[in-house]
Amino acid sequence: MITNKKNLTLKENFRILLNALITACVAAGVIIFISRSNIPSVLSYFTIQSNLLCMIAAAVTLARVIMRKSLIENPYIFLKGMSLVSILLTFFIYNLVLKPFTTLTGGGGETLESVLLHMAVPVMMLLDFIFFEEKRRFKMWYPFGWTLFPVFYIGYTAVYKALGGTYKYFAGDTNFPYFFMDYETYGLKTVGLWILLIAAGYIGFSYLLIGFGRLISGKKR
């Protein structure tokens, strides 16, 4: 009996479906956000940039699975790790810091785009990591390399503000994307402390994720 080696396995089909959903959720969420605001403002939030990074990673995964390309090459693994940690940072900052702050200051309830980008995409990215990723391929120096993305974002916001860019909020326009970056109101010391805490959490969580991945993989090097 002759079998077609090019047929995708059930596992590969599930991964294709999951990453297609990630791509679709990011696209839908960003489009809805843009329809309610403007492109420069929307694209200048970490939420959007981290989701777009996930869309790129998911699209690369889709292409590589369909074409039967290697999923253990270092650049690919690095990209997947950076996108996962960045979107989980979005998830935790939103749910533990921004959402309570917005509620206290009289913000509105959840919207579809917010649920898609702050909840659905992070959960699906984590599922992709747990069930499909080659977890032992993550190197121990990666967490420091992954910080390039939030560092880029801090630089981006500084340039965006210098060029006169603003951000849309329910209470009106503001010069900062998140309250903990507003050094004009809270001072450089407070903002610096927030950034250091977030950076420490980002790196620490990255190592926890790598350790968790190696634990559940149950394989030796």
- The predicted pLDDT at position 2 comes to 38
What is d(CA 90, CA 45) in angstroms, rounded to the nearest whole number?
10
What is the three-class DSSP state of 64? helix
- Number of neighbouring beta carbons within 10 Å of residue 52: 16
Q: Is 55 exposed, middle or buried (0-12, 13-18, 19+ CB in 10 A)?
A: buried
What is the rounded CA–CA span in Å between residue 185 and residue 112? 31
Q: What is the pLDDT of residue 219?
A: 53
pLDDT value of position 113: 93
- Under 8 Å CB-to-CB from 202, ≥6 apart: which residues? 85, 89, 143, 146, 147, 150
pLDDT for residue 99: 81
Q: What is the pLDDT of residue 170?
A: 62
Provide the residue-wise pLDDT of the chain in tens; the chain has 221 residues. 334 456 889 999 999 999 999 999 999 999 999 998 889 999 999 999 999 999 999 999 999 999 988 888 999 999 999 999 999 999 999 988 888 876 665 555 678 999 999 999 999 999 999 999 988 899 999 999 999 999 999 999 999 999 999 988 766 788 999 888 999 999 999 999 999 999 999 999 999 999 999 999 875 44
Cα(220)–Cα(46) distance, integer angstroms = 36
